Amino acid sequence: MVRVRIAPAPTGALHVGTARTALFNWLFARKHGGCFLLRIEDTDRERSKPEFVEQILEGLMWLGLDWDEEPIYQSQRLQLYRDEAQRLLEEGKAYQCFCTPEELEERRKYMLSQGMAPKYDRHCRQLDESDRKRLMREGRKYVLRFAMPIEGEISFYDLVRGEISVRNEELDDFVILKSDGFPTYNFACVVDDHHMRITHVIRGEDHIPNTPRQIHLYTALGYEVPRFAHLPLLLGSDRSKLSKRHGATSLLEYRKIGILPEAMFNFLALLGWSPGGLEGEEIFSRDELIERFDITHVKPSGAIFNFEKLLWMNSQYIRMCDIKRLTKLCMPYLRDANLISDTPSESEAKLVERSIELVRDRMKLLSEAPSLCDFFFREPVEYDSGGVQKWLTKEGVDELLEELAIRLEGLEQFDAKTVESTLRKLASERNIQAAHIIHPTRVAVTGKTVGPGLFELMEVVGKDACVRRLKKCVMWIRENLRAKRCST
C-alpha cells in the first residue's frame, strides 16, 4: 500500500510551499488508495513552538488535508534514534567525532583558502580505540558521524526528474547524533520514514542534496529504500524563491484575508502540475484532481505563485459558493467593520445574506465584503468624488432626485421592478435618458459609482432608507454645489 507523509518543522507558520507539498502527498495517497501521514519534526528545542504546531494542524485541516493515523512527534521518539545510531556505531558504520567547533571552523577556513569545497576531513575516523578512550576520559564531548563510503557513486530515480547520480567522494561524513543526544534531520528522517513504512517520499527540490546521504543511511540500517519525487520550488513573480518580500507566505494569512479553502486547494494543485488533455480548464473539484493526479507529470522547473491568479480563482469559487455558507463566512468581516452586531438578529442575518448575494460577483476576497456592501447597513458618510463631479454637479439633478424620492415614498409595493418602472417613467416624462437619473441615484443611495444592479440593491436597502438618502443628497447638493455655482 502507498504510504506518504508531510513532515513540517514547527519553527514558524505553515508556509504555502509546505502546504503545496502536503497537498501533492495527499492527492497521491488518495489517488492510489493509500495513507497520508503527518509527522511533526520538533527536535529543534530552541525554535520549535507549540503555537506553530497548532497553526500547522489548523492550516492542514482548513485545506481539508486529513491524515489517516495519529501524528508522529519526533521529540517523543528520541530513544529510537539513539538506539539506531548506537547500532550503526557497533557495526562500524558510524564513529565518534571529538572535533571542537573551533577546530572544525579552522579547517573549514583552510579548505576555502585552498579553493576546496569545505567538508569534514574525517579526522576522527582515523582514531584508534585508545585515542577514543583517552578523549572520553578527558570529558571531551562528541557527536556520532556516519561513515560514508569513500569510493563509487550513489544513484536514484526521481519520479519528477529522472535519474540522479552523485559521486560518494563529494559527500562528507555527516553528523547523525549531536552531543546532546538529539538526532540530526537526515538521520531522524530516515529512521522515521522506515518505521512509518513510507513508500514514497514526495518533497521539495531543496531536499535533493539530502537524498544520497539518506539512501546510504537506508542501506546501512538495512531498511528498504522508498521512491523519491522532488517537487519544484514556488517562485515569486520575479522568478526568485518565494519569500515574504513577494507578499504573504503563511497559509493562514490567506485564510485571514478571505481566500476560500477550496480555491487555495485548486490553486496549489496547479502549481507545477496540470491535468493532461484539458487545455484552458482551471477549475477542478477535489475528486477531479484526485482522479487525474499523476506525480510523473509534475514539471521540474519552478512554479510561479501568481497572487492575481489566486484572486481570480477565489472569485470563481465565491460565485459558486452556497449563499448561506458564504454569508456565514463574510459575517466576521462585517462585524469587525462594525456593520452588524455581534449576534445578528434573524432580520439582520437575512439582510446580510441578501446583500452578499448581490455583491458576490464583484468579490475577490471575503475581506472585501465590508467595502462592497457597507451601504446596505449604513448611510454613506461621503460621496465618491468622481461621482460627484460627473453626476451631482449637473444642472437640475437635485430636482430630479427630489421628485424621485417623492414618487418612491408613495409606492405601496417597493421592489426592484416597481423602482425601475418609477424611475424610467420619470425619465420619460422629463424627456431624458434613464442613465441621467440612475447614476446620480446610485451615488445618493450608496455613495459609490459602481456596484450591483441599482434597482435590486434599492429593494434590499428598503423604501424608507432610499427615500431618506435621496432627500439627504438633495440637501447636500443644494448646500455644497448650488452655493458654489451661485458664487461663481
Q: Which residues are catalytic?
A: 244
Distance CA 103, CA 100 (A): 5
CB atoms within 10 A of CB 92: 9
**3 state SS of 212:** helix
Q: In sequence order, what DSSP letters do the residues of 76-90 get, joined into one string?
A: G-HHHHHHHHHHHHH
What span, in angstroms and rounded, lies between the C-alpha atoms of 52 and 123?
39
Alpha-helix runs per DSSP H in 152-232: 185-195, 210-221
Taking CA atoms, 478 is separated from 227, 265, 393, 441, 474, in Å, by 77, 53, 10, 16, 6
Angle at 283 between CA 8 and CA 372, to 5 degrees: 90
Residue at 151: amino acid letter: E
Cα–Cα distance measured from residue 396 to residue 424, given in angstroms and rounded to the nearest whole number: 17
For the record, the C-alpha cell of 201 comes out as 517520499
43 is written with which cell numbers? 527536535
What distance in Å separates the CA atoms of residue 248 and residue 259, rounded to the nearest whole number? 12
Distance CA 358, CA 461 (A): 12
Task: Give dist(CA 471, CA 126) in Å, integer.
Answer: 94
Instruction: Evaluate whether 168 touches 148 at the Cβ level (below 8 Å).
Output: yes
Measured CA to CA in angstroms, residue 339 lies from 329, 377, 378, 450, 457 at distances of 15, 6, 7, 20, 17
Residues 6+ apart with CB under 8 A from 162: none
Q: How many CB atoms lie within 10 A of CB 202?
A: 26
Alpha helices by DSSP H, listed for 14-77, are: 16-31, 50-63
